Amino acid sequence: MSRSAALLLSLCLSIPLAQAADPVLVIHGGAGVERGDLSAAEEKAARAALRQALLKGHQALAAGKPALEAVTTAITVLEDDPSFNAGKGAVFTHDGRNELDASLMDGSTLAAGAVAGVQRVRNPILLAQAVMQHSPHVMMVGQGAESFAASQGIALVDPGYFRTEKRWQQLQKALKEEAAGQAHADLETARHFGTVGAVALDAQGRLAAGTSTGGMTNKRYGRVGDSPIIGAGTYANASCAVSGTGWGEFYIRTAAAHDICARMQYLRQGPEQAGRAVINERIPALGGNGGAIVLSADGRAATPFNTQGMYRGWIGADGVPHLAIFADEPLPLPGQ
Ligand code: ASP
């Protein structure tokens, strides 16, 4: 039943609506960002891209499109922007390549699609959507995923498209630290993430989640993080939607996105409590770090993180984007 039909029925019968939340979209552009990392121009560009992603995603929701479409629309904007570690601007592997991962989940049907280790797909989130909607599979990797992309008319690009000088220099720094045998070179690079993600609730009460990334700087050939793994970096069902960003190995080991949803579903925790338990307690207890965005079916949102910043924002029915980057920037969220 559409939301307007449900509203009419509830008015006629004078019964309260179970799903009366307004559509909402929440996005992230990665945890781990610190004030010293960004020039004024870079900060401005990142904020403009976040705003654009929110406005375009909101347009989809306002037009009555499914949550899934708001999620892919917002993520596509962020993949195309070099400010973030997804699509153009992805980080480099140890041997100087870009290997991209993405996943998408429709909470209303539990349908999911994911791709890992692709090197020529301009928008990996659109390939994840094609895997979900036009193949019998959930996850495809490497060259197989790329030939499927070609068969679906998904845009392929020369691998050089993803390269940015800033990410190249980050790899050079990580390689030097590694060569010098620096004790915690991995921790140094693990502070900076930049994966992108989105969660949305549409006018019919459907939830969806998606995540897209270049992974982690200096990762080994073939390493796959949490972002394309359903239940680790992305999860959505009828009660909640989650997209994570952080040190992926820890998100995989804790099944982080699914754990947040399970806490909401089985323990009746709200997004804030469930998000905090996983992001601020379980993951740091194992030595990991990062953040997540969480949305419930009644429109409550949380953006927990345990780093000095996380690019994040949300937009509700009024179409006004709300953004923050650093930990000390207030960002009042829907339902808080
Ligand atoms: N979670 C991603 C990974 O481990 C990195 C990130 O969030 O930026 O691949």
Residue 10 has pLDDT above 50, yes or no: no
Q: Which of 27, 167, 247, 254 to mutate to test the pocket of ligand 1 (most atoms within 8 A of CB)?
A: 247
Please tell me the distance from the alpha carbon of residue 298 to that of residue 61, in angstroms, as a whole number: 16
Mean local confidence (pLDDT), 276-293? 97
Output the CA 211–ligand 1 centroid distance in Å.
10
User: What SS3 class is residue 26?
Assistant: strand
Q: Taking all residues of the chain, what is their mean pLDDT, rounded to a whole number?
A: 92
Specify the residue with its C-alpha closest to ligand 1, atom 7: 245
User: From ligand 1's centre to the CA of 107, what distance in Å?
Assistant: 22
Q: Which atom of ligand 1 is the closest one to the Cα of 225?
A: 9
- Cα 204 to Cα 183: distance, rounded to the nearest angstrom: 51
Instruction: Give the tokens for residue 211.
Output: 């995540």
Specify the residue with its C-alpha closest to ligand 1, atom 4.
248
Ligand 1 atom closest to the CA of 91, numbered from 1? 8
CA 196 to ligand 1 center in whole angstroms: 9
Task: State which of 28, 100, 245, 249 you would mutate to test the pocket of ligand 1, scoring each by most atoms of that ligand within 8 A of its C-beta.
Answer: 245
From the CB of 76, is ligand 1 less than 6 Å away? no
CA distance 143 to 154: 14
Q: How far apart are CA 251 and CA 270, in angstroms?
A: 20
Measure the CA angle with vertex 262, ends 110 and 141; round to 5°: 45
Q: Which positions are catalytic?
A: 195
Q: Domain extents for the chain? A: 19-326
pLDDT computed for residue 18 by the predictor? 46
- Please tell me the distance from the alpha carbon of residue 6 to that of residue 147, in angstroms, as a whole number: 44
pLDDT digits (tens, 9 = 90+) for 174-222: 999 888 886 555 554 556 678 999 999 999 999 999 999 999 999 999 9
pLDDT at residue 308 is higher than 60: yes
* CATH class for the region spanning 19-326: alpha beta
